[in-house]
C-alpha cells in the first residue's frame, strides 16, 4: 500500500493517474473504525482510484484537551486499510505540510449552517473543517468525496463549501454505521469505559423513540420529552437536542408534510463528547 506524506509525493502520484478514470477521496482524522471502512468500501466500488487522507486537523478542535486526547495510530490505520484493499493510497501529511506558514483557518460564510448545533457549541470548528477539506479537495482533486452522516451538519457544510468555492466534486453522504447496541461508531468511543460504551446506546434508543413520537407530537413536545429522558440518566449529560429541517438545518417552527426533518443530539459521557442524529420522516 502506498503511503504519501508530502505534497510533492502526492503530485507525483496524481500525475500517474489516467484522467478518464475516477478518483474517490475519503478524508479522515485516522483512528479508523468500521464506519470509515464502510466509506472506503463504497469508494472502492465506485472509483478506479481511492485515496484515504489521515490528518488530525488542529484548527477544527475548539478544545485543546480533546485534540491532545484524539487517538493517533497511523500504523494500526494502515493495517485496517490494507485488510480492505492493497490498492488504497494513504495521504498522511504533517501539520507543516498542510499549514505551511500559519496554523490558521479561513473565515467562511456557510449561509447560517455554521451557527447552529455543533457550530454554536464549538466555536470556529466549521472554519477549521472547511479550511482542511478545501485544501484536500484542491490538492487531490477527487471526482467523489465520501463523508459519514454521523456528522450530518458537517456534511451539509461541505456541500455548501463546494458550492461557494465552486469545487467540482460530488459529495457523497453515507449512512451512519452503528455498534451492535446501536451506538454510532466514532473514534471517540475508544475513550469510553466498557460500561459506558454500553450505557451510551441509550442515545440511539432515545432517538428512535423520538422519531416515533414525532409522528404524532410537535417538535417542542419531542424535545422536552428527550430532555426528561436524559435527566433520568445523569451519567449522560445532554448538551443539546435539536429538530431541524434536514437541508437548511433551520429549527422547525411548524411541521410540513413535504419537508424532511432530522433530530440531532450531543452528549457528554465520561467527559467524551458524542453526537448522533436520525432522519425523522
Ligand atoms: O469528519 C472528520 O473526520 C473530519 O472533520 C474531516 C472531514 C476529516 C476534516 O478534518
Atom of ligand 1 nearest to the CA of 55: 10
- pLDDT, residue 211, reads 98
Report how far residue 66's alpha carbon sits from residue 99's, in angstroms, rounded to the nearest whole number: 20
Mutate which of 30, 56, 151, 189 for ligand 1? The one with the most ligand atoms within 8 Å of its CB, which is 151
- Is the beta carbon of 151 within 6 A of some atom in ligand 1? yes
Atom of ligand 1 nearest to the CA of 129: 9
Atom of ligand 1 nearest to the CA of 29: 3
Nearest CA among 238, 243, 251, 250 for reference residue 215? 243
- Is the beta carbon of 98 within 6 A of some atom in ligand 1? no
Domain 187-279 classified CATH 3.50.50.60?
Answer: no
Among 3.40.50.620, 3.30.70.20, 3.40.50.1220, 3.30.70.141, what is the CATH number of 2-174?
3.40.50.620
Phi, psi for residue 210 in degrees, rounded to 5: -60, -40
Q: What is the largest CA-CA distance in the chain?
A: 58
Mutate which of 66, 132, 139 for ligand 1? The one with the most ligand atoms within 8 Å of its CB, which is 132
- Is the beta carbon of 187 within 6 A of some atom in ligand 1? no
Domain limits, CATH 3.30.1300.10, in the chain: 187-279
Atom of ligand 1 nearest to the CA of 151: 1
Banded pLDDT at 102 (limits 50, 70, 90): very high
Percent of the chain clearing pLDDT 70 (strictly above): 100
- Is the beta carbon of 31 within 6 A of some atom in ligand 1? no
- Is the beta carbon of 206 within 6 A of some atom in ligand 1? no
Ligand 1 center–CA 56 separation, angstroms = 8
Report how far residue 105's alpha carbon sits from residue 58's, in angstroms, rounded to the nearest whole number: 10
Residue 186 clears pLDDT 90, i.e. is over it: yes
Mutate which of 25, 28, 30 for ligand 1? The one with the most ligand atoms within 8 Å of its CB, which is 28
Domain limits, CATH 3.40.50.620, in the chain: 2-174
Least confident stretch, 64-68, 133-137, 185-189, 199-203 = 64-68
- pLDDT, residue 100, reads 87
Least confident stretch, 66-75, 135-144, 152-161 = 66-75
Q: How far apart are the two ends of the chain, measured CA to CA in Å?
A: 42
- pLDDT, residue 48, reads 98
For atom 6 of ligand 1, the residue with the nearest CA is 28
Q: For the stretch 152-179, what's the b/e string if a residue is b when 16 or more beta carbons lie within 10 angstroms of its beta carbon?
A: bbbbbbbebbbeeeebebebbbbebbbb
- pLDDT, residue 101, reads 84
Q: What is the mean pLDDT of residues 169-188?
A: 97
- Is the beta carbon of 243 within 6 A of some atom in ligand 1? no
Which residues have a catalytic role annotated?
36
Amino acid at each position: 500500500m502506498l503511503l504519501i506524506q508530502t505534497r510533492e509525493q502526492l503530485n507525483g502520484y496524481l500525475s500517474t493517474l489516467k484522467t478518464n478514470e475516477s478518483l474517490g477521496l475519503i478524508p479522515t482524522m485516522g483512528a479508523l473504525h468500521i464506519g470509515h471502512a464502510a466509506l472506503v468500501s463504497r469508494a472502492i466500488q465506485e472509483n478506479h482510484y481511492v485515496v484515504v487522507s489521515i490528518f488530525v486537523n488542529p484548527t477544527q478542535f475548539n478544545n485543546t484537551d480533546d485534540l491532545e486526547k484524539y487517538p493517533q495510530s497511523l500504523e494500526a490505520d494502515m493495517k485496517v486499510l490494507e485488510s480492505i484493499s492493497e490498492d488504497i493510497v494513504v495521504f498522511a501529511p504533517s501539520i507543516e505540510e498542510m499549514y505551511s506558514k500559519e496554523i490558521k483557518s479561513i473565515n467562511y460564510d456557510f449561509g447560517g449552517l455554521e451557527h447552529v448545533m455543533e457550530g454554536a457549541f464549538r466555536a470556529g470548528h466549521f472554519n477549521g473543517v472547511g479550511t482542511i477539506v478545501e485544501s484536500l479537495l484542491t490538492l487531490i482533486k477527487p471526482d467523489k468525496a465520501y463523508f459519514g452522516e454521523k456528522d450530518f451538519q458537517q456534511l451539509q457544510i461541505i456541500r455548501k463549501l463546494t458550492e461557494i468555492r465552486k469545487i467540482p466534486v460530488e459529495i457523497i453522504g453515507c449512512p451512519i454505521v452503528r455498534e451492535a447496541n446501536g451506538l454510532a461508531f466514532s473514534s471517540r468511543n475508544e475513550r469510553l469505559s466498557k460500561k459506558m460504551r454500553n450505557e451510551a446506546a441509550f442515545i440511539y434508543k432515545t432517538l428512535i423513540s423520538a422519531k416515533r413520537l414525532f409522528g404524532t407530537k410537535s417538535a417542542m413536545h419531542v424535545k422536552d420529552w428527550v430532555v426528561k429522558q436524559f435527566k433520568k440518566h445523569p451519567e449522560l449529560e445532554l448538551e443539546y437536542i435539536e429538530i431541524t429541517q434536514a437541508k437548511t438545518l433551520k429549527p422547525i417552527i411548524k411541521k410540513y408534510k413535504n419537508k424532511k426533518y432530522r433530530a440531532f443530539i450531543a452528549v457528554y459521557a465520561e467527559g467524551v463528547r458524542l453526537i448522533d442524529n436520525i432522519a425523522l420522516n
